[in-house]
Amino acid sequence: MKHNDWKQRLNTVYSTNPNFQYETDKTEDIETLPNEKQPLRISLDKRNRSGKKVTLITGFTGKDEDLQQLAKLLKVKCGAGGSAKDGEIIIQGDFREKTCEILSKAGYHKAKII
């Protein structure tokens, strides 16, 4: 073990096995699916937003960095604000048709408007 940090070692008091691997909090990153295999769904959402409309893109499978890059592309092309987290992209305003066109040009051919 490179670091002797006791906070990273969980559920183990002592082990005499020289090949023992400690359990840690680290989770493996999910591989990002290719663009043409991403089943993205585009919808309009008004719930819990004080009646304001947002375009919601769900169904993204992959790393958080790739999600952030896609969200940035959509926000710049739509000229609107928004956010991306937990596999969802939120674009402020009703941009369903425009985001579908942008996604299809970017190679996301399975993107559908719901």
**Prediction pTM value:** 0.73
Identity at 89, one-letter amino acid code: I
CATH number among 3.90.650.10, 3.20.20.70, 3.60.15.10, 3.30.780.10, domain 35-113: 3.30.780.10
* Tokens describing residue 14: 């002592």
| pLDDT value at residue 23 | 67
Q: What is the pLDDT of residues 29-52, one digit of tens each?
A: 678 889 999 999 999 999 888 889
- Within 1-114, strands assigned E span 41-45, 54-58, 82-85, 88-92, 112-113
For the chain, what are the domain ranges?
35-113
Residues in contact with 15: Cβ distance below 8 Å, sequence separation at least 6, in sequence order: none
Give the residue from 42, 37, 31 showing the smallest Cα distance to 112: 42
